[in-house]
Amino acid sequence: MTETSLLAEIRQAVSESLDRLDGVIALRRSGTGVAPHLFQRGDDLSELVIEPKYPLMTVVSRLHKRFPEIRLGVVARGCDERAYVEMAKRNQIDPQRLTIIGFACTAEEAQECYCSQPYPQKLVVGQPAPAGPVNPLVAEYDALSREERFEFWRRQFVKCIKCYGCRNICPECFCEACAMEDAAWVEPGLLAPPFPTFHLIRAMHMASRCVACRECERTCPAHIPLTVLYDLMRRDMEALLGYVPGADIDAEPPLSVKLDKVPLRQDVGV
């Protein structure tokens, strides 16, 4: 399917769904760029675009909270849908009031994102592209020595300007009080302290939530390969607790339920 016919089909699907929804969230051409937009009946759908990739579920969440009756649709990629799954089970989005108009990413996009599932479960438009490769840094990570690992991340974390962009763009970062802004856990006014608390806290918080949308990495002005760390945590989460964030809306967040419900799958030597 060509890019243009994909877009045409998405616009058609949005147009049809607008008959029974209050609005559909998608990207809209705006000046020289694009911006999230709530398309409503009568709007010019020729302005609807799908690039560049942007996490729209955050916008859905805000509108759901602000307008408790509103019934929305959203134009979503595979990662958007996974983000939705993790947000819905944490009460950030109401599944009863959301229709997902899912479309498949291209094979090139899947490669670029190292995406293991570049299409939503509810696929409305497009054909599923093959999964992208595993990030080579992740694939080769286990072979690194302790010293190499430390040096790699030291060189990365030293670039951090603590702009909080990784957190702000993340669809799964919705806590009202952020631990990374708490002076008890992250020293204010210090960049790249020798012990990387800032990034380790975020990596721990991402372990059961990260849906590998790569937005944090894309947004990082210092080009820190954050998702290498998060991919490793995702890998461990699956091995230890059999949990894949974004895969199953009925699977409870594993870290906050009893072992009887989600047991350990590995001997952790305790």
Q: Which stretch binds another protein (CB under 8 A): 3-11, 165-173, 215-223, 256-264?
A: 256-264
What are the Cα distances from residue 263, in Å, to 75, 243, 249? 36, 11, 18
* Residues whose CB is less than 8 angstroms from the CB of residue 166 and which lie 6 or more positions away in sequence, other chains included: 202, 216, 217, 219, 220, 224, 226
207 touches another protein by CB under 8 A: yes
The nearer residue to another protein, 21 or 216, going by C-beta atoms, is 216
The nearer residue to another protein, 67 or 185, going by C-beta atoms, is 185
The nearer residue to another protein, 63 or 207, going by C-beta atoms, is 207
* Residues whose CB is less than 8 angstroms from the CB of residue 140 and which lie 6 or more positions away in sequence, other chains included: none
Instruction: Name which position in 122, 149, 159, 223 contacts another protein (CB under 8 A).
Output: 149
H-helix segments, 33-192: 57-66, 78-88, 107-112, 136-139, 146-157, 165-169
152 touches another protein by CB under 8 A: yes
The nearer residue to another protein, 1 or 232, going by C-beta atoms, is 232
151 touches another protein by CB under 8 A: yes
Can you read off the two tokens belonging to residue 134? 């595993």
The nearer residue to another protein, 82 or 199, going by C-beta atoms, is 199
270 touches another protein by CB under 8 A: yes
Rounded CA-CA distance 212/218 in Å is: 11
Instruction: Name which position in 200, 222, 244, 247 contacts another protein (CB under 8 A).
Output: 200
CB of 179 to another protein, least distance (A): 5
The nearer residue to another protein, 71 or 141, going by C-beta atoms, is 141
Rounded CA-CA distance 50/137 in Å is: 29
154 touches another protein by CB under 8 A: yes
CB of 55 to another protein, least distance (A): 24
Helices 57-66 and 78-88 pack at an angle, to 10 degrees, of 40
Quote the radius of gyration of the chain (alpha carbons, Å): 20
Give the DSSP H or E segment for 25.
Answer: strand 23-30
The nearer residue to another protein, 131 or 179, going by C-beta atoms, is 179
**Regarding beta strands 98-103 and 33-39, do their DSSP bridges make them parallel or antiparallel, or are they unpaired?**
unpaired
Instruction: Name which position in 99, 116, 121, 197 contacts another protein (CB under 8 A).
Output: 197
Q: Do 213 and 132 form a contact (C-beta atoms < 8 A)?
A: no
Question: What is the binding site for another protein (CB under 8 A)?
Answer: 141, 146-154, 179, 182, 184-185, 187, 193-197, 199-201, 203-204, 207, 229, 232-233, 236-237, 240-241, 254-259, 262, 264, 266, 268, 270
